[in-house]
Each structure stands twice: as structure tokens, then as C-alpha cells.
């Protein structure tokens, strides 16, 4: 069975924290209205920066991984994020609770990532991963795991895809 590749959107694929007046090189601007984006937040649609090359890079990993959205976009990532990147519909983590309490100072997603992985090896790309999350996973998940923190100002870079490919190539 292939390891899971758990993919966050905001940060890894959409470097939302980059300087707003300057789109990162290689990225295209998209305006989106997912259901979570209300007019109370802004009358304008949500600005999302996506790098079309990331879709090809992720698809190149598909032979080594089972890809899964691990984002607050949940299934809407299949409607808004996947198509511009050329990705097929992917399963997604259906968070029981978003932005809730987390054990031992971990990111709120971490406990649910472990539940979803259910003992399987996984790689997880997210901009909110910390040392506490790595320690928690080491203590509570017997299978191999790679937690790859992505800078939300930059997004995924070549070295990240290389690290994912190398990790998937090491079978334990």
C-alpha cells in the first residue's frame, strides 16, 4: 500500500503570506468564492495564487503516493484548486472540528491527520507544522511519517518535491 501524501492548500500551494502587491514568480492569480469565504470577510472574491507547475510535480509523485487533500478547503479543493493545477479529484480529510483544541500544543490538524492515516505511512505538507507536531507524531504513530513545513510566503519549491520523492523511495 502506498503512503499517503496529505496536501494543505493555503501555504504550500497558495503562498498567501507573500507580499500582497507582488505575485510570486511562476504563480497565477485566481479569484475564488468557496463557501467559507463570505461577504462579511470581503466583498471581493478570495485571491489565491497557484503555480501551474505544482500540478505536474504532484502528479509525478502519484505513482509513489496516494494523494489526499488535508486542507480547510476540504472537498472544495477539488472544485477550486485541483482544476487550475490539472489534478484529478482527490479524497480529503473531513475534519471533525476545525480550528479546535489540540493536544500538547500541537496544531489542531495533527490529531485528525493521525486518525485519517490510521497507522499508514504518510507525508504531510503544511505551513503550520511545528516541532511539537513532529514529537506528537513520533509518539503516537508507529508507521513512517514525514512532516514537511512549507513557508507560507514562498509555497512549495523544487527541494520540497525532491524531499517527497526521496522519502517515498525509502521503504521501511
pLDDT in tens, 144-162: 999 999 999 999 999 999 9
Tell me, what's the pLDDT at 171? 60
Report the alpha-carbon distance of residue 121 to residue 172 in Å, rounded.
10
Residue 25, domain member (yes or no): no
- In the predicted model, is pLDDT for residue 41 greater than 80? no
Q: pLDDT, tens digit, for every residue of 63-104?
A: 999 999 999 999 999 999 999 999 999 999 998 877 777 777
pLDDT computed for residue 76 by the predictor: 95
Give pLDDT, residue 166: 96
Q: Is 30 contained in some domain?
A: no
Mean pLDDT of 123-138: 96
Q: Does residue 41 lie within any of the structural domains?
A: no
Q: Is residue 39 part of a domain?
A: no
Pairing state between β 4-7 and 66-69: parallel
What pTM did the predictor assign? Answer: 0.92
26 domain-assigned: no
How many domains does the chain contain in total? 1
Flag whether 22 is in a domain.
no
32 inside domain = no
Its domain, for residue 85, covers: 4-17+50-169
Is the model more confident about 44 or about 149? Answer: 149
Of the candidates 77, 90, 1, the one whose C-alpha atom is nearest the C-alpha of residue 34 is 77
What pLDDT was estimated at residue 34? 80
Average pLDDT over residues 136-145: 96
Each residue's pLDDT tens digit, 95-117: 887 777 777 788 989 999 999 99
Q: How many helices (H) and strands (E) does the chain have?
A: 6, 6
- CATH number of the domain bearing residue 155: 3.40.50
Coil, helix or strand at residue 122: strand
| Averaged pLDDT for residues 29-56 | 81
The answer as to whether 148 is a domain residue is: yes
Amino acid at each position: 500500500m502506498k503512503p499517503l501524501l496529505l496536501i494543505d492548500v493555503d501555504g504550500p500551494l497558495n503562498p498567501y503570506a507573500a507580499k500582497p502587491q507582488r505575485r510570486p514568480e511562476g504563480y497565477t492569480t485566481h479569484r475564488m468564492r468557496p463557501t467559507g469565504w463570505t461577504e462579511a470577510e470581503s466583498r471581493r472574491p478570495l485571491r489565491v495564487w497557484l503555480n501551474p507547475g505544482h500540478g505536474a510535480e504532484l502528479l509525478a509523485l502519484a505513482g509513489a503516493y496516494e494523494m489526499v487533500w488535508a486542507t480547510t478547503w476540504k472537498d472544495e479543493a477539488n472544485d477550486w484548486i485541483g482544476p487550475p493545477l490539472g489534478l484529478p479529484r482527490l479524497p480529503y480529510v473531513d475534519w471533525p472540528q476545525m480550528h479546535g483544541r489540540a493536544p500538547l500544543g500541537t496544531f489542531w490538524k495533527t490529531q485528525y491527520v493521525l486518525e485519517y492515516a490510521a497507522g499508514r505511512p504518510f507525508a504531510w505538507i503544511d505551513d503550520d507544522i511545528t516541532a511539537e507536531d513532529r514529537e506528537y507524531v513520533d509518539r503516537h504513530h508507529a508507521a513512517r511519517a514525514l512532516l514537511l513545513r512549507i513557508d507560507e510566503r514562498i509555497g512549495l519549491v523544487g527541494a520540497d518535491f525532491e524531499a517527497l520523492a526521496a522519502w517515498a523511495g525509502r521503504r521501511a
